[in-house]
Each structure stands twice: as C-alpha cells, then as structure tokens.
C-alpha cells in the first residue's frame, strides 16, 4: 500500500502519532493528514470525478477520523482504518447522488471535464499538445467507464489496481468478506475490460 511517507517512517511513528492523537494532540493528527491526504484525495477523486467534491469528502473523512480516533484500537494499520472511513463517506455520497440524479451525474461530470481547460486531465509534466489531447481523452474514457460501475465495484477496482491493496485489506476497509471482494473485482474487471478494450489494446 502506498503512502506519502517512507515505510520506515510510517511503521516507526504511526502508532505513536495515533496515540498522541488519542491524547488530543492536533499536531500529531496534522502529521497523519500530511502523510495520507494525497492518496485519500486521489482515491476519492477517482471514485467521484469531481475535484471540489473530492476535496470536501476528504476533509469530511479526516474530520470523522479525528472525532473517532479514540476508538482506533490498532488492530489494523491506521491507513486501513481511515480508508474504511473514506470508503463509507464516499460510497454514502455516491448513493445519495445516484438517488438524486438517477445515476446520470457522472456523465455530466465527464462532459464538464472535457470542456474545462484547467481540469486535472492535463498532465503535470510538459507534453506536446497532441499527447495532452490523447491523455485527456483516455482519462475521460476511463472516468466514463468507472462511472458506470456501482460504488462498491468502483471501490474494489480502484483499491486493487491503483492502491494495490490485498484482498483482506479491501475486505476490512469495506466491511465485507474476502469472497465478496473477489466477486466484485471479477465483475468490475469484466465491465471495464468490455468498456476500455480499445483503449488498453492501443497503449
């Protein structure tokens, strides 16, 4: 699993930071936020495809983590624990949004991104205009394909492929069995393979 900190830093002091947080030390919590904010933001963004909403949900997730940090018993890593909060917050948000917009909001989001010149589909490094356009299109295709998955299927495919989490970690994060994770992964992959075959065949 990737974090912003080096594994040694994370292993040595994470528990210590958590204990300090449990004693009310906000600076220790700030340190944990610094370590995980980018990965958490990225995960949420990949699930919902809206930068502003991903920002807000990441904030909400950290606030919830702070409120409930005293209940963290250290049976799993802090990252797995906070990831569970992140997933609950994000999946709840997606379900509410799908109920409100009958599931069409992500197509709109993709279309908006396509016309937004400052969107994050633009690569960070300097690239030739045609490359930029190609990457932007690929990104839009991927986002559109992911938007067709259920929140749970999005979660497993992203956790597996971008976070490279283990089955048991995903199961713990989502509060389900390993079998359920594997089954969801099966269907999520099948669907994305069908939707993105022409994209990954040409890279």
Q: If you ran DSSP here, which 8-state letter would residue 175 be given? A: T
Min dist. Cβ of residue 115 to other proteins (A): 19
- Cβ atoms 77, 3 nearer than 8 A: no
Q: Mapped to the 3 state alphabet, what secondary structure does 76-94 carry? A: CCHHHHHHHHHHHHHHHHH
Collapse the DSSP code of 131 into the 3-class scheme (helix H, G, I; strand E, B; otherwise coil) and give the result: helix
**Does 189 contact other proteins by CB under 8 A?**
yes
Helix (H) or strand (E) holding 115: helix 105-115
By CB under 8 A, name the one of 10, 14, 45, 94 that touches other proteins. Answer: 45
- Cβ atoms 13, 177 nearer than 8 A: no
Return the range that interacts with other proteins (CB under 8 A); candidates 9-17, 36-44, 78-86, 98-106: 36-44
**Does 168 contact other proteins by CB under 8 A?**
no
By CB under 8 A, name the one of 16, 25, 30, 92 that touches other proteins. Answer: 30
- Residue from 74, 80, 89, 87 nearest 17 by CA: 74
- Tell me the C-alpha to C-alpha distance, in Å, between residue 64 and each of 29, 34, 55, 81: 12, 16, 14, 11
**Does 17 contact other proteins by CB under 8 A?**
no
By CB under 8 A, name the one of 105, 114, 134, 161 that touches other proteins. Answer: 161
**Does 173 contact other proteins by CB under 8 A?**
no
By CB under 8 A, name the one of 11, 23, 38, 168 that touches other proteins. Answer: 38
Residue numbers at the binding site for other proteins (CB under 8 A):
26, 29-30, 33-34, 37-38, 41-42, 45-46, 55, 58-59, 62-63, 66-67, 120, 123-124, 135, 138-139, 142, 157-158, 160-162, 167, 179, 182-183, 185-187, 189, 192-193, 196-197, 199-201, 203
């Amino acid at each position: 699993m990737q974090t912003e900190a080096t594994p040694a830093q994370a292993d040595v002091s994470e528990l210590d930071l958590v204990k300090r947080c449990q004693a009310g030390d906000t600076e220790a919590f700030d340190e944990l936020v610094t370590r995980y904010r980018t990965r958490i933001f990225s995960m949420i963004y990949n699930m919902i495809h809206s930068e502003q909403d991903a920002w807000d949900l990441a904030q909400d997730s950290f606030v919830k983590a702070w409120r409930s940090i005293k209940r963290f018993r250290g049976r799993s890593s802090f990252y797995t624990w906070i990831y569970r909060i992140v997933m609950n917050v994000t999946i709840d948000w997606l379900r509410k949004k799908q109920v409100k917009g009958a599931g069409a909001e992500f197509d709109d989001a993709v279309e908006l991104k396509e016309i937004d010149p400052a969107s994050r589909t633009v690569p960070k490094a300097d690239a030739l205009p045609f490359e930029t356009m190609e990457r932007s299109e690929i990104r839009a295709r991927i986002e559109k394909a992911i938007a067709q998955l259920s929140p749970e299927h999005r979660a497993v495919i992203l956790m597996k492929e971008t976070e490279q989490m283990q089955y048991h970690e995903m199961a713990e994060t989502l509060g389900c069995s390993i079998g359920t994770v594997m089954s969801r992964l099966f269907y999520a992959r099948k669907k994305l393979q069908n939707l993105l075959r022409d994209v990954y065949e040409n890279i």
